[in-house]
Structures are given as structure tokens and as C-alpha cells.
Amino acid sequence: MPFDRLEQVLARDLESLEKEGTRKGAESVIVRVLPTEGDRGPRVLLEGEGDRPFLRMNSNGYLGMALHPDVIAAEQEAVHEFGTGPQAVRFISGTFAPLVELEARLADFHGREATTIYSSAYAAVMGTLPALINDATLVISDELNHNCIVNAIRLGQPAKKRVFPHLDMDALEAALEQGVGRYQRAIIVTDGIFSMRGDHAPLDRIVAIARDYDDRFEENVCVVVDDSHGIGALGETGRGTEEATATRADLLIATLGKALGVNGGYVVGSRTLIDFLREKSPYYVYSNPITPAEAAAASRALELLDSKEGRNRLEQLRLLTRRLRAGLEKLGFESIPGEHPVVPLLVRDTARTTELVQHLRAHAVLATGLAYPVVPKGEDEIRFQVSADHTPTDIDELLAALGSF
């Protein structure tokens, strides 16, 4: 039979994941979303679970925008006006007004000259980094950077890649020092928020180090940050790690699919950089962008974020996050300090993590256990993610379920 030997190898790989307890396995299927009712936030119904409503503590929708009536209306209006999909890449048949409007809005929101949209943040990183890397480039990367950064560096094939221990600024500086005189261009790349931990890069220090060394590299030292989890979730006005550290990277990449509640990714930077990406970035040139309706919905979500309502949602998010953190501490659980709505509960044991996730599910709470290789060995955790459309009662229900473990 064709593929039979290959399939045996693949099946063995799946079995070993099962044995190690790291197989992700069957996915929950959400069959209905129930809106906020009384003092409880939205709930979901799952396939095979009947009418039992589940509290979702594992969504990246930090601002609750996916269920916002204005965002839904913007998407509905645009889908009627422009149809369901882009139907071609942009250089072939042009683009739609909602995408251009969203790009202008994003550039303005982040105080940059220009933006370009990709189908996802993963695609944005894969499309951007390799386009900036050549065979005279040194790339310096945090060891806990997201998988898209790791793969983008691989694809870029730099002259040298240096990976520094998580947040270790001395190691970052040493890597730059060693690159002086050897490489023309240096790129420092980091997550803003590290999504498995909820901590963030010391971007102010990274930018300061980059500026110190800038003159010693012929083609500059460029700082690239992927703040997919930070935008709309961190900082007084939701401008993420840049706002929290009062600094600005040379190139900022983020998603439209988490706090903004829609789908897609983007890059903001100087006009020249963005023009260059539109010519040279294969994930932009050869792949469809988001739909016009997604762009219209994301524009509306961004407008809401940058309004009084957005500030209120961010404040609610901070209050709920603090409530969860305080509750975990009271119950004697270990976490990682931070202000971001990713609140990790460190279990440090794969089997116990699985047990705890099952216990929570039995109490109608959805949470995700993370094990190696998603997190480093020995750092098995449950990642709770708070949203502005959760309520204090929701957080208390989660804490009660944890307390009964």
C-alpha cells in the first residue's frame, strides 16, 4: 500500500507523544456561544456535553471584542458590501477599501508611518524576518521566542544566529559585541509578551543596547518585536509592551486575532520598510490577505480600543487579572508575577497538570495544560487567560473549582 511504511513511522511518533503525556489530542468543538447573562460572562456549549455551559479561561480574546455588537455589525455590513473573500493576492487584483483604512488606522494607533496586513501574525513574522535577513546578518533571539520567530530565522538563513537566555540583557549585549566587525547587519528579535508566561521583554533596555551598538554595524542594529499578546492587553491604552516600557521598536508585528477579536496579522514601521515588504515578502506577495469584512471588523475593534470604552475594558481586565492572581496566591498555587491577563499556574508535573485540567473541565471550566516542548521541561503549567468580558463571579467560580482539587 502506498505510504504504509511512512504511516507506521508517523503512528509510532503519535504513540510516543501519548506515552509522554504531551499529545494535544482531540479538540473541543464549540457548538454555541451564550452571551453574558446576569453576573456571569459568556459561556460555550460543547459537542457531546449537552446543555452544560462552560466558562472559557483559555481564549486570547482579552478584550471580549469578538462578541461586541459593533464589531459584529461592522463585519456584517462589509461582507454584504464586498463579499466573503479577497479572491486574489493584492498585487494581482488590487485591494479593498477596508484593508487600506485598517492599515492607516493601525499606523496611526502605533504612531508609525505605515502598516501592511498579513493573513495572520505567524505569516507576518514568516514574511518579514527572512526578507530582512541576508548572508551578512547576525540575528539575536530570546530563547523563549514564539515558534514563528524560530521558524522565520531558520528560513532566513542568517550568517549567524545567537539565542540568549530568557530576558538576559548581558547575554544579548555580549552577542552584539561579538558580532562587531563580523556582520554588516544585526537584528534583535523578541516577543513582546511571552505568551506562555505573561511576562514581557525589557524593550526599553533592548532598544538602548541596540542604539549603543548601532554605529558599529554598517547596516544598523534593528529591533523587531512581535507583541501579538501585548496589543490590547497591556499598557494604560492597550499599546502593549512598547507602552509598558515607554519605548518603540524599529518594527512592530502583532495579530488582529487575539485582543482585537478578529483575525489576521500586521507589521508597522517606516514607509520604506513597509514598501520593501510589499515588494519582497512572499507571505504578502503570494498569499491572500484577510477578508474585507475582517478588516472592517478589526478597524471597528481598534476604534473601540482607542476610546473611553476601550479604557474601561482594559481597566476591567486589570481588576479581574488581579482578582485571579490574588486568589491563586491564597490557595497556595505558584505563578509568574506580571500584570498581563495571561496568568500561569505552575504545576511542574505533566501528569498532575492533566489531572487538574480534567478536574476543571468536570467543574465546567475550560483551561489548557502546557507541557514540553511548548514550555521548557519542568515548567508544566495551566495557562489561564482573563478577558474583559469575564465577571468577578466567573473568576470566583474558577477559584472555587481550583480550591476543590
Residue from 54, 82, 122, 284 that binds ligand PLP (CB under 6 A)?
122
Q: What would the DSSP string read from start to end of 280-295?
A: H-HHHHSS----HHHH
| Rounded distance between C-alpha atoms, residue 30 and residue 28, angstroms | 6
Task: Count the Cβ atoms, other than its own, within 10 Å of residue 363.
Answer: 16
State the nearest-atom distance from the C-beta of 118 to ligand PLP, in Å: 8
Q: Which is nearer to ligand PLP, 148 or 305 (CB)?
A: 148
- The radius of gyration of the chain's CA atoms, rounded to the nearest angstrom, is 22
189 forms part of the interface with ligand PLP (CB under 6 A): no
Q: Which of 68, 110, 146, 229 is catalytic?
A: 229
State the nearest-atom distance from the C-beta of 397 to ligand PLP, in Å: 26
Residue from 137, 141, 190, 195 that binds ligand PLP (CB under 6 A)?
195
Collect all residues with Cβ–Cβ distance below 8 Å to 75 and sequence separation of at least 6.
262, 293, 294, 296, 297
146 forms part of the interface with ligand PLP (CB under 6 A): yes
Q: Scanning residues 210 to 229, which ones bind ligand PLP (CB under 6 A)? A: 226, 228-229
| Rounded distance between C-alpha atoms, residue 194 and residue 230, angstroms | 9
Task: Count the Cβ atoms, other than its own, within 10 Å of residue 57.
Answer: 24
State the nearest-atom distance from the C-beta of 72 to ligand PLP, in Å: 20
CB 115 within 8 A of CB 267: yes
* Catalytic (active site) residue 330: no
What is the Cα 183 distance to its own chain's centre?
Answer: 31
What is the Cα 274 distance to its own chain's centre?
Answer: 21
Binding mask 245-284 for ligand PLP (x = CB under 6 A): ----------x-x-------x-------------------
CB 289 within 8 A of CB 86: yes
Dihedral sign from CA coordinates of 193, 197, 199, 203: negative
State the nearest-atom distance from the C-beta of 121 to ligand PLP, in Å: 3
199 forms part of the interface with ligand PLP (CB under 6 A): no
Residue from 121, 302, 347, 356 that binds ligand PLP (CB under 6 A)?
121
* Catalytic (active site) residue 195: yes
Q: Which is nearer to ligand PLP, 316 or 385 (CB)?
A: 385
Residue from 148, 231, 297, 320 that binds ligand PLP (CB under 6 A)?
148
191 forms part of the interface with ligand PLP (CB under 6 A): yes
Q: Which of 195, 228, 299, 387 is catalytic?
A: 195
Q: Which is nearer to ligand PLP, 60 or 137 (CB)?
A: 60
323 forms part of the interface with ligand PLP (CB under 6 A): no
State the nearest-atom distance from the C-beta of 1 to ligand PLP, in Å: 36
State the nearest-atom distance from the C-beta of 401 to ligand PLP, in Å: 25
Look at the block and give the residue holding cell 521598536: 249
In whole angstroms, how far apart are CA 232 and each of 239, 255, 303, 327, 367? 6, 10, 11, 24, 21
| Rounded distance between C-alpha atoms, residue 374 and residue 379, angstroms | 10
| Rounded distance between C-alpha atoms, residue 231 and residue 218, angstroms | 32
Interacting residues with ligand PLP (CB under 6 A): 120-122, 146, 148, 191, 195, 226, 228-229, 255, 257, 265
Q: Would you please indicate which residues are annotated as catalytic (active-site) residues?
A: 195, 229, 258
